[in-house]
Amino acid sequence: MRRGALGYNHPAVARPPRIIADAPDMPRASASIGWLTVVQPIVPGVYQVPGVVANCYLLESGRDLAVIDAGLPYSHRAVLRLMRELGHQPESLQAIFLTHADRDHMGGAAALRAATGARVFAGAIEGEAMAAASETRRVGLPGPIRMAFEVTSRFLFARVNPVIPDRILADGEDLEAPLGLMALHTPGHTPGHMSFFDAKRRILFAGDSMRSFAGRMRPSFGANTDNELQAQESAWRQLTLNPELILVGHGTPIWVK
């Protein structure tokens, strides 16, 4: 079976749809002017929150804000700091959209909701795990190694506070104004993974359904992927929406050419 440049090998996928690369004029996440650090948007109204492990994006529409993912426990502080730097009050955060129940994406959600009053949105499968502060993936590692991995990550990343979503999202659901995102069920990395698509501006928030490295993207793969075949199908489905900009959970922004 022929493997495409994007790592697709599902029989239904004949070839990768596009060549994908970093934009050469990609702005830096922040610029320093003397003692003042100015955070630059990736595109107007879309910021990558500095200083968090898994990428977390702040969306700004006038005075209304939303975040895609909330980082590890304590990452809420970085989100609040960025909001402050941009001149927003905590109450301006309307929504916390969570892609999946991994601790590096939902760990800061409970504290961020408590600090802002924002509503938390997630898919059904991941939402149930978030409420129990557990994860949904069946990790493809032998038992003792998996246990060592879990103990280490709990030790390193602190306790995760559970978060019960205020609303469960369905696949294809159009989310309310002001940000006009569409929720997409994109399983593979985890069984209930959700991505978010801004159809007007063609920006895809792909979470961990894809990752980027050195200007290339790949569907989620390897030991931290629940189902690689599903991940490839989900990546393909998202690319058929013709995103112009893909923002992933780990890696740099990708402009689709």
- For Zn ion, the binding residues (CB under 5 A) are 54, 104, 208, 249
Shortest Cβ distance from residue 254 to Zn ion (Å)?
Answer: 16
Residue 48: enclosing H or E segment and its boundaries? Answer: strand 46-48
Q: Which lies closer to Zn ion via its Cβ, residue 30 or residue 153?
A: 153
Least CB distance from residue 35 to Zn ion, whole Å?
33
Between 104 and 226, whose beta carbon lies closer to Zn ion? 104
- Nearest CB to Zn ion, comparing residues 13 and 53: 53
DSSP annotation of 26 reads P
Residue 183 burial (CB < 10 Å; 0-12/13-18/19+)? buried
In terms of C-beta density within 10 A (0-12 exposed, 13-18 middle, 19 or more buried), how is residue 166 classed?
middle
Choice between 208 and 228, CB closer to Zn ion: 208
Judged by beta carbon, residue 92 or residue 187, the one nearer Zn ion is 187
Nearer to Zn ion, 220 or 232 (CB): 220
CB of 55 vs Zn ion, minimal distance in Å: 8
| Length of the chain, in residues | 257
Q: How far is the CB of 106 from Zn ion (least distance, A)?
A: 10
Q: How far is the CB of 169 from Zn ion (least distance, A)?
A: 19
- CA distances to 97, 140, 151, 249 from 220, in Å: 20, 14, 23, 11
**Closer residue to Zn ion, CB minimum distance, 104 or 198:** 104
Contact of 191 with 227, CB cutoff 8 Å: yes
- What residue spans of the chain are helical by DSSP H? 76-85, 103-106, 109-116, 124-131, 143-157, 228-239
Integer Cα distance of 196 and 175 in angstroms: 9
DSSP 8-state secondary structure symbol assigned to residue 51: T
Would residue 87 be called left, alpha or beta, if left means φ above 0 and alpha means ψ between -120 and 50 degrees?
Answer: left
Q: How far is the CB of 135 from Zn ion (least distance, A)?
A: 11
Dihedrals phi, psi of 237, to nearest 5 degrees:
-60, -40
Minimum Å gap between C-beta 222 and Zn ion is: 12
